Amino acid sequence: MSPVTIRRVSPLVERGIRVTTSPAPSRPLRADAVRNRRALLDAALAAFQRGGVTASLDDIAKAAGVGAGTLYRHFPSRDDLVLAVIDDGLLGLAERGEELLDATDPVAALADWLDAFVAQAGLFEGLARTLVNPEAGDDTTCKRSKRAGAALLDRAVTAGRLRDDVSSADLLDVAAAIAWLGDQGRDDAQRSRLLTLVIDGMRRAPSA
C-alpha cells in the first residue's frame, strides 16, 4: 500500500508507514483481553484525534484503565498501535456499509456511508490517498470497505435512483477530495454540504 504519514506528527518522528491488516492472533483472546484491546483502541483514537500520534502511550494506557505493560503486550510499538487504530476504523466502515445494504432508501444509505468514509479518511494524512489507490489491494480490511461502498452505489443505481455512468472509483475519488478539504480547516457543515452536492449531482434525471 501507499505510505501513510500520520497527521500532526512531530518533526522528530516524521516518516511514512504502511497500512496493513494486523495478523490474527494464533488463538482467541480471553474476554478480559478483548475488553482491554477495545479500550486501548478507543483511548488511542481519542488521543490521536486530540494531539496526533505523538500522544503519550502511558496516558493512553491510563485512559483505557490498564497498565503500560498491557498496552505493549497488545501493541509492541507505537506504529503497531497506530496501524491497529486505522484498521479498526476501516473495519467499522466496512461493517457500517454492509448494514446499510438493508436500508429502505438506497440513496440515503450511500450518503450515510460516504459521510463515514470521509470522516475516516480525514483522520490521518495520506489515508484518503491510500484508500482510493487502485493498486492498494493487499489489505483485506481496505478491500472490504471499498466493496461495501461499491455495493451501496450499485444498489442505488439498480433502483434507478442514481446515474449509471458513475463508478465506485469516481465516487471514492470525490470523497477523498472532500476529506482532504476537511484537513485544510473546513468544518463539518461544509463537508456535509459538499457531500450533498455530490449525491445531488449523481441523481438520475427524470424521464421526459
The domain that contains 67 carries what CATH number? 1.10.10
Judged against a pLDDT cut of 50, whether residue 44 lies above it is answered with yes
Confidence at 25, pLDDT banded by 50, 70, 90: low
> Is the same domain home to 103 and 171?
yes
Residue 101 is assigned to a structural domain of this protein:
yes
Calculate helix-pair angle for 31-51, 78-100, nearest 10 degrees.
Answer: 100
Contact between 51 and 40 (Cβ < 8 Å)? no
Give, in degrees to the nearest 5, the angle at Cα 82 between 135 and 15: 70
What's the burial of 149, exposed, middle or buried (CB within 10 Å: 0-12/13-18/19+)? buried
Q: Provide the phi-psi class of 49: left if phi over 0, else alpha when psi is between -120 and 50, else beta.
A: alpha
Which strand (E) or helix (H) includes residue 3? strand 3-4
For 88, 110, 139, the CA distances from 62, given in Å and listed in that order, are: 20, 38, 31
Distance of CA 132 to the CA centre of its chain: 12
Q: Are 91 and 181 contained in the same domain? A: yes
For residue 208, pLDDT beyond 70: no
Model-level pTM? Answer: 0.80
C-beta separation of 199 from 111 below 8 A = yes
107 and 188 in a common domain: yes
Average predicted confidence (pLDDT) for the chain: 83
pLDDT the model gives residue 37: 95
Q: For residue 135, what pLDDT is reported? A: 61
Amino acid at 204: R
Q: Bridge partners of 17? A: 4
Residue 12: is its pLDDT beyond 50? no
Give yes or no: residues 37 and 63 share one domain: yes
92 and 71 in a common domain: no
pLDDT at position 10 = 32
Q: What is the CATH number of the domain that holds 104?
A: 1.10.357.10
Residue-wise burial string across 65-98, b where 16 or more C-beta atoms lie within 10 A, e elsewhere: ebeeebbeebbeebeebbbbbbbbbbbebbebbb
Task: Say if 112 falls within a structural domain.
Answer: yes
Dump pLDDT digits (tens) for 133-184: 766 545 788 889 999 999 999 999 999 999 999 999 999 999 988 888 766 5
Question: How far is it, in rounded angstroms, from Cα 208 to Cα 206?
Answer: 6
Instruction: Indicate if 135 and 188 belong to the same structural domain.
Output: yes
Which cell is 11 given? 518533526
Per the domain annotation, does 8 fall within a domain?
no
Q: Which domain holds residue 91?
A: 85-202
| In a domain? residue 97 | yes
